[in-house]
């Protein structure tokens, strides 16, 4: 692939981004990147984010022949210079062109929501894989899948990658025969313009509650909501969980750019809104600790045409996962999946790090789950407690550093509501002292209701929690799922994952 300077000029001019271009004639680039460590000969280098001039020097030494930035740098003398007023927008537009607009060859389904994005994405992928013979790519918090070979599935580093990576993954997916893509689109993706200029075939809004509010994320809840609503503005079809807070705001955002006939609303609670029809209702047939099944009913004519009214077993337990399944049924039907594809896909689905259960002989059942904010923790613990009211609830949890500061209060609140014993430990402390994070969570817990233990070593905290359980205990290891590292002082420190730690502890108990 190659991209010429004339095409770059045209694209950036159309969007009013160019300030100045210093270039020879007939210049073209064979590679694009924002990471100086990935520069190859004849690369166009983007100076973005936490950029330092020495990165440009390194890129030049590695063979970069041009750079895009919001100002000139002496380190870039002798290179083609493309100076723009917004490098993130420029990077997304140029990335799409460089990779030959791969989104046009994929049916792209995108999810947003405070909780449930990852689980719903796996649900939709599982359904579509049944419908299209395993030709569904995935960009999620856990994994990125661009093909069916082992080398084409790898761990993700961001919920929504940088724009150049998104278009690269899309191009690889198309080249590998994929026809559909399911991806998560975080509020930060819109805040940081990672999906600028990208239009989706289906956009799904699951829910919203306060999260990601802080100095390094969203300054206010209004900003958080606005960024999430942008997915509705940039999708051909919109699906909205009508049980979400601010539903009418979200619906109005969708209606601003989408024909109402292409907006689908679903609800568990048969909500009614003036002048707005709920297209689908679903209800629980079973929502026990061992079985999850829903019944789907179509209300509107457009919903009935989709032919998805049926009963569906879901391979991941939790009543809060039923709405996730409903969204996936509708989204996949818009990509020509049939009810039988959805029935098989949902029944057989596995979501790494989501409600993974491990039974012990004498210490109860251990659940590894990614629950990482109040909404998800409240839903998880409430579900477990309702299914086993006499069982002791033991929770291992920490909170990440330098982001999502409101989560700490949320965890304290959720633990007070539903936990009997809490082991507070490290998560991804980043540049904060994990003890300070733990103490902040602890300050929000009612100690008259919860027996609190502090153990900085996450593996040791998990071990102690399991040993504290009895036959009827429900032990939740929350927050990291299958994350294979802990972020400590800017370094991704290898971590053997919560499921591995749990299994090692259980093996040790069995051998005692």
**Known binding residues:** 36, 113-119, 159-160, 186, 194
Q: Which residues pair with 41 in a beta bridge?
A: none
Alpha helices in 238-368 (DSSP H): 247-255, 301-304, 321-334, 339-348
Q: Which residues pair with 280 in a beta bridge?
A: 266, 298
- Residues 504 and 225: their CA atoms lie apart, in Å, by 41
Structure tokens at 261: 């006939």
Query: Is there a contact between 101 and 6 (Cβ–Cβ < 8 Å)?
Result: no
CA nearest to 313, candidates 285, 279, 341? 285
The number of beta carbons lying within 10 Å of the beta carbon of residue 23 is 16
The number of beta carbons lying within 10 Å of the beta carbon of residue 237 is 21
- Residues 159 and 111: their CA atoms lie apart, in Å, by 11
Alpha helices in 335-450 (DSSP H): 339-348, 374-387, 406-418, 434-443
Which residue numbers belong to the known binding site for ATP?
Answer: 113-119
The number of beta carbons lying within 10 Å of the beta carbon of residue 301 is 10
- Residues 113 and 148: their CA atoms lie apart, in Å, by 28
Residue environment code for 187-226, b if the CB has 16+ CB neighbours within 10 A, otherwise e = bbbbbbbbbbebebbbbbbbbbbbbbbeeebbeebeebbb
Structure tokens at 360: 């012990």
Query: Is there a contact between 507 and 463 (Cβ–Cβ < 8 Å)?
Result: no
Helix axes 247-255, 221-233, angle to 10 degrees: 40
Give the CA distances from residue 399 to residues 141, 238, 370, 405, 427, in Å, rounded to whole numbers and listed in that order. Answer: 17, 33, 12, 8, 5
CA nearest to 46, candidates 10, 89, 16? 89
- Residues 512 and 509: their CA atoms lie apart, in Å, by 5
């Amino acid at each position: 692939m190659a991209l010429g300077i004339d095409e770059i000029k045209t694209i950036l001019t159309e969007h009013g981004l160019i300030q100045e271009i210093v270039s020879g004639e007939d210049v073209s680039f064979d590679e694009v990147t924002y990471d100086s460590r990935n520069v190859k000969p004849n690369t166009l280098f983007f100076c973005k984010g936490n950029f330092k001039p020495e990165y440009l020097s390194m890129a030049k030494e590695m063979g970069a022949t041009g750079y895009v930035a919001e100002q000139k740098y002496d380190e870039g003398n002798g290179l083609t210079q493309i100076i723009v007023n917004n490098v993130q927008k420029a990077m997304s537009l140029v990335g799409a062109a460089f990779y030959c607009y791969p989104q046009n060859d994929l049916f792209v389904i995108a999810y947003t929501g405070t909780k449930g994005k990852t689980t719903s994405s796996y649900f939709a992928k599982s359904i579509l894989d049944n419908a299209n013979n395993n030709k569904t790519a995935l960009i999620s918090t856990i994994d990125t899948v661009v093909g069916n070979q082992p080398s084409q599935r790898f761990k993700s580093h961001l919920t929504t990658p940088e724009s150049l990576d998104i278009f690269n993954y899309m191009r690889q997916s198309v080249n590998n025969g994929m026809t559909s893509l399911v991806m998560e689109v975080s509020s930060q993706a819109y805040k940081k313009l990672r999906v600028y200029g990208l239009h989706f075939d289906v956009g799904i809004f699951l829910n919203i509650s306060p999260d990601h509010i802080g100095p390094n994320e969203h300054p206010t809840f209004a900003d958080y909501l606005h960024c999430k609503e942008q997915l509705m503005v940039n999708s051909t079809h919109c699906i909205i969980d009508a049980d979400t807070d601010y539903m009418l705001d979200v619906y109005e955002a969708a209606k601003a750019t989408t024909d109402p006939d292409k907006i689908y609303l679903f609800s568990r609670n048969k909500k009614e809104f003036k002048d707005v029809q709920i297209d689908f209702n679903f209800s629980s047939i079973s929502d026990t600790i061992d079985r999850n099944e829903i019944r789907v009913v179509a209300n509107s004519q457009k919903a009935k045409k989709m032919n998805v009214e049926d009963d569906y077993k879901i391979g991941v337990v939790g009543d809060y996962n039923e709405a996730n399944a409903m969204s996936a049924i509708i989204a996949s039907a818009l990509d020509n999946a049939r009810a039988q594809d959805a029935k098989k896909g949902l029944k057989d689905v596995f979501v790494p790090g989501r409600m993974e259960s491990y039974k012990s002989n004498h210490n109860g059942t251990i659940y590894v789950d990614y629950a990482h904010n109040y909404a998800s923790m409240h839903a998880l613990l409430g579900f477990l407690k309702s299914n086993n009211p006499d069982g002791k609830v033991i929770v291992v949890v920490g909170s990440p550093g330098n982001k999502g500061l409101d989560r700490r209060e949320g965890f304290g609140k959720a633990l007070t509501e539903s936990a009997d014993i809490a082991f507070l430990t490290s998560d991804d402390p980043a540049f904060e002292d994990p003890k300070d994070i733990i103490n902040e969570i602890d300050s929000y817990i009612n100690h008259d209701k919860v027996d609190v233990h502090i153990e900085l070593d996450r593996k040791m905290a998990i071990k102690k929690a399991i040993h504290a359980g009895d036959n009827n205990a429900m032990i939740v290891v929350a927050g990291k799922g299958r994350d294979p590292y802990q972020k400590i002082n800017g370094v991704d420190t290898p971590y053997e994952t919560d499921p591995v730690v749990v299994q090692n502890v259980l093996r040790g108990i069995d051998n005692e």
